[in-house]
Amino acid sequence: MPSNSATFVAGLTAAALTTVGFLAFHASANAPAGPAEPLRSGAPAKAASAHRDKERSAALPDDSGVGERVVYALSGDRVWLVGSNDEVKRTFKVAPGSVDPLPGSYDVSSRSGAVTGTDGTPIEHVVRFTTVDGVTIGFSAALDGSLPEADPTVKTGGIRETVADGNAMWDFATIGQRIIVIR
């Protein structure tokens, strides 16, 4: 009997190590490439974006992943809706909130057709993908078409789009859709 027990324990150990290895690989595949930088956490969007690229190109950045995805570039306040063949279906400028998400890969976690934004503005087509320090981050379109500058006194995670761009995002970014945030 001792050899059967030893075989059983060896099998359990091998299964546990395989599971841990798989989980470690999966976690590393979804981790950002470099160390996290500090968040703006309430800093005004304009002041924090002073270092942002002057050119703000509409070309899809090389470091934005592959396959169907939404790409959000913090450095240019720009979004790309990218099809499965890496074809850009649409690109547009956005107005970020006062809190940025960290660069990395996310999935759309929830959506709302119409709500009131943190700033009291009626918004539609809300596509949420992460939370930073208790602040929900997501794309939305103000019904009045406004793209306001973030209020530095209020922590907001709403990334505002025009109504037309919000419609396109709503149609493209369903629950589970990948969102890639890059610098």
Q: How do residues 40-79 score in pLDDT, each as one tens digit?
A: 333 333 333 333 343 446 899 998 999 999 999 999 999 9
Which is more confidently placed, 39 or 56? 56
Total structural domains in the chain? 2
Question: Please, is 67 exposed, middle or buried when counting C-beta atoms within 10 Å of its C-beta (0-12, 13-18, 19+)?
Answer: exposed
Mean pLDDT, rounded, for 86-113: 97
What's the pLDDT score for residue 2? 53
In whole angstroms, what is the distance from residue 168 CA to residue 127 CA? Answer: 11
Q: Please indicate, yes or no, if residue 40 is contained in any of the structural domains.
A: no
Based on the fold, state whether residues 158 and 110 are members of the same structural domain: yes
Residue 136: its H or E element: strand 135-142
Alpha-carbon gap, residue 43 to 180, rounded angstroms: 22
Q: What is the mean pLDDT of the chain?
A: 79
Assign 7 a pLDDT band (cuts: 50, 70, 90): low
101 and 141 both lie in a single domain: yes
Assigned domain for 17 exists: yes
pLDDT at 37 exceeding the cut of 50 = no
The verdict on residue 142 lying in a domain is: yes
Domain with 14 in it: 1-31
d(CA 57, CA 60): 8
**Higher confidence at residue 32 or residue 112?**
112
Has residue 38 been placed in a domain? no
By the 8 A CB rule, do 159 and 139 touch?
Answer: yes
Q: What is the mean pLDDT of residues 105-118?
A: 96
For a pLDDT cut of 70, what percent of the chain falls above it?
69
Residue 37, in any domain of the structure: no
Residues 27 and 49 both lie in one domain = no
State whether residue 15 is helix, strand or coil. helix
Neighbours of 83 (CB within 10 A): 13
**Is the domain of 120 the same as that of 152?**
yes
Give the global pTM: 0.70
Tell me the backbone φ, ψ of residue 93, rounded to 5 degrees.
Answer: -80, 150
